[in-house]
């Protein structure tokens, strides 16, 4: 356990230092369910892979992220952390990182857009060697307004699907000027974090906000990717009648064969009780859908940006708005009197209205991040600017450690099996 920092504090801008001891409890609670990260931390404490390495991280400022920051610090890194979404910042966690663990943090819950970017810039003032991003805003800021930093940056990693999509677009245009590793694309990230983490925590946010019973209700999930599958499966498991909307015929077919109804949104909009967007796209719920929805429906977004639900239309066209009727629940009253409920202002609902993914699943994503950062220290010089995969040995190591930590065991190949799988000469 790190001793409390009493002497000089690291650079910071946080909401309330008095929350530090609550934050410490929250971080230590999360740590209990992050056994793989704990093993990595022990190794890093001895090997000090980040001695002399400065890292700027733009991530959700949650207890799980705090544990990743502690691992990097234990490995010798000098870190500056800012938020990747103002609504997900836990002010107690931010306070604890600064006052209990001596880590530089720039994050306040619900800060406005200017504050958000001033925090990103403050984190970048560390003049990083490595960058950790979650949604690509940090990398975007570097390439647009902080280009002078690029000379020092060896590389970085990106945590989420939307960030990887943006990085790929940058790389396609020849605009990405250092190597970025797509941590999101590891099996141990997207198969678990996006699916089980988003699935559970998105519904958790709906329940915390509304205390709504979804059994017997129609839940419409827009997008049947990794996250959408997780949300749909869990809603179905709790007794909801789940409808999927998709734009990809293969994903739609998969949803149908898993027993879900598949409809265009314009049809689903007329019958749904709860709508959850998780596509990474924009305007998935918009005017034409709002106009046919039933009175009292609940809308939430779990995709990365707050553009999946056209909140601007609701703001401009509603007769009135009842703000914060309940925790993170705003009610828009349309001209004809119908009431549409919006959770967490249309931002990432699982982080805005709940606590984000459970620590146990972030244990895997953040172990991927920690091991990828170590890999970058050794290999960044050999990587060209662009988007790169995490080496598969890291993915397999994290899966093996997690499996063991959960008491799972697997078989090993016999020599004959090994030869059979690796030879083309054997017939049937
Ligand atoms: N809430 C969280 O904590 C969390 C966690 C991980 C990822 N994400 C974010 O969630 C989003 C989805 O991530 P993913 O990993 O599931 O991506 P994915 O690419 O696996 O799935 C997205 C799906 O949405 C579909 N889609 C796109 N536009 C659509 C539209 N207009 N209508 C219906 N379907 C549409 C695509 O065909 C695809 O199947 C991204 O923005 C990602 O960054 C959020």
pLDDT tens, residue by residue, 272-286: 999 999 999 999 999
Query: Which pTM does this prediction carry?
Result: 0.91
Residue 7's pLDDT band, with cuts at 50, 70 and 90, is: low
Q: In a mutational test of the pocket of ligand 1, which residue from 278, 286, 346, 347 has the highest number of ligand atoms less than 8 Å from its CB?
A: 278
Tokens, residue 362:
């972030």
> What is the residue-averaged pLDDT of the chain?
96
* E strands present in 115-235: 130-133, 155-158, 179-182, 218-222
Q: At 160, is the secondary structure helix, strand, or coil?
A: coil
Q: Which atom of ligand 1 is nearest to the CA of 348?
A: 1
Our mutation pick for probing the ligand 1 site, out of 223, 289, 362, counting the most ligand atoms within 8 A of Cβ, is 223
What pLDDT score was predicted for residue 425?
81
User: Tell me, what's the pLDDT at 428?
Assistant: 63
- The helix/strand/coil state of 365 is helix
- Mean pLDDT over residues 157-181, rounded? 97
Burial (CB < 10 A; 0-12, 13-18, 19+), residue 381, is: exposed
- Neighbour-count burial of 363, counting CB atoms closer than 10 A to its CB (0-12 exposed, 13-18 middle, 19+ buried): buried
CB 194 near ligand 1, within 6 Å? yes
- For residue 424, the model assigns a pLDDT of 84
**Beta-bridge partner residues of 131:** 56, 156
Sheet holding 12-13, edge to edge: 12-13, 104-106, 78-83, 54-59, 130-133, 155-158, 179-182, 386-388
pLDDT of 294 reads: 98
Range(s) of the chain covered by CATH 3.40.50.1480: 12-189+357-405
Residue 235 pLDDT > 70: yes
Checking if the pLDDT of 112 tops 70, the result is yes
Residue nearest ligand 1's atom 32 by CA: 246
Residues of the chain with CATH 3.40.50.720: 196-352
User: Which residues does 329 contact at the CB level (< 8 Å), separation at least 6?
Assistant: 209, 210, 341, 342, 343, 353
Q: For the residues 404-410, what does the mean pLDDT come to?
A: 96
DSSP code string of 255-279: HHHTT-EE--HHHHHHH-SEEEE-S
Q: Residues 241-266: what's their mean pLDDT?
A: 98
**Model pLDDT, residue 160:** 93
Q: Does domain 12-189+357-405 have CATH number 3.40.50.1480?
A: yes
DSSP structure class, residue 353: T
For residue 216 the two structure tokens come to: 């017997």
Range list of β-strands (E), 15-77: 54-59
Measured in Å, residue 348 CA sits from the centre of ligand 1 at: 12
Predicted pLDDT at 2: 47
Atom of ligand 1 nearest to the CA of 302: 1
- Answer yes or no: are the C-beta atoms of 266 and 288 closer than 8 Å: yes
Find the range with the poorest average confidence among 1-10, 56-65, 200-209, 321-330: 1-10
Token pair, residue 311, equals 């909140």
| Residue 28 in this model has a pLDDT that exceeds 70 | yes
How close is the Cα of 147 to the center of ligand 1, in Å?
30
Q: Which atom of ligand 1 is nearest to the CA of 226?
A: 16
| Burial of residue 397 (number of CB atoms within 10 Å: 0-12, 13-18, 19+) | middle
**Cα of 225 from ligand 1 centre, angstroms:** 6
The pLDDT, as a whole number, for residue 87 is 87
Domain 196-352 in this protein, CATH class: alpha beta
Instruction: Examine the pLDDT at 3 and tell me if it is beyond 70.
Output: no
Q: Which of 186, 246, 279, 358 to mutate to test the pocket of ligand 1 (most atoms within 8 A of CB)?
A: 279
């Amino acid at each position: 356990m790190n001793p409390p920092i009493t002497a000089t504090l690291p650079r910071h801008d946080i909401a309330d230092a008095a929350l530090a001891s609550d934050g410490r409890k929250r971080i230590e609670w999360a740590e209990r369910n992050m056994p793989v990260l704990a093993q990595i931390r022990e190794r890093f404490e001895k090997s000090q892979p980040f001695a002399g390495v400065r890292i700027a991280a733009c991530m959700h400022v949650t207890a799980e992220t705090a544990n990743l920051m502690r691992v990097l610090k234990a490995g010798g890194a000098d870190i500056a952390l800012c938020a990747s979404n103002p609504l997900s910042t836990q002010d107690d966690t931010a306070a604890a990182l600064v006052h209990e663990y001596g880590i530089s943090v720039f994050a306040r819950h619900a800060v406005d857009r200017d504050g958000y970017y001033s925090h990103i810039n403050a984190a970048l003032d560390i003049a990083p060697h490595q960058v950790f991003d979650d949604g690509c805003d940090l990398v975007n800021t570097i390439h647009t307004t902080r280009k002078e930093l690029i000379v020092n940056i060896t590389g970085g990693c990106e945590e989420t699907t939307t960030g990887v999509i943006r990085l790929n677009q940058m790389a396609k245009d020849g605009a990405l000027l250092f190597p970025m590793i797509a941590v999101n694309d590891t099996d141990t990230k997207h198969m678990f974090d996006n699916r089980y983490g988003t699935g559970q925590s998105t519904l958790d946010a709906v329940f915390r906000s509304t205390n709504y019973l979804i059994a017997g209700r129609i839940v419409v999930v827009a997008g049947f990717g990794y996250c959408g599958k997780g949300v749909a499966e869990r809603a179905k498991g709790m007794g909801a009648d789940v409808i999927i909307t998709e734009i990809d015929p293969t994903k739609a077919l998969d949803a149908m064969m898993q027993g879900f109804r598949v409809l265009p949104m314009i049809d689903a909009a007329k019958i749904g009780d709860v709508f959850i967007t998780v596509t990474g796209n924009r305007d998935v719920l918009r005017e034409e859908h709002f106009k046919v929805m039933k009175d009292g429906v609940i809308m939430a977004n779990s995709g990365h940006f707050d553009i999946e639900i056209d909140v601007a239309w609701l703001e401009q066209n509603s007769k009135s708005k009842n703000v914060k009727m309940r925790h993170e629940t705003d009610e828009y009253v349309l001209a004809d009197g119908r009431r549409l409920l919006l959770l967490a202002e249309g931002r990432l609902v699982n982080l805005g209205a709940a606590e984000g993914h459970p620590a146990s699943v972030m244990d895997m994503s953040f172990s991927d991040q920690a091991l990828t950062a170590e890999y970058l220290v050794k290999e960044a010089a050999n990587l060209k600017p662009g988007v790169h995969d995490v080496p598969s040995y890291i993915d397999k190591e994290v899966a093996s450690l997690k499996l063991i930590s959960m008491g799972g065991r697997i078989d090993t190949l016999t020599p004959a099996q090994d030869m059979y799988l690796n030879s083309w000469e054997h017939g049937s």
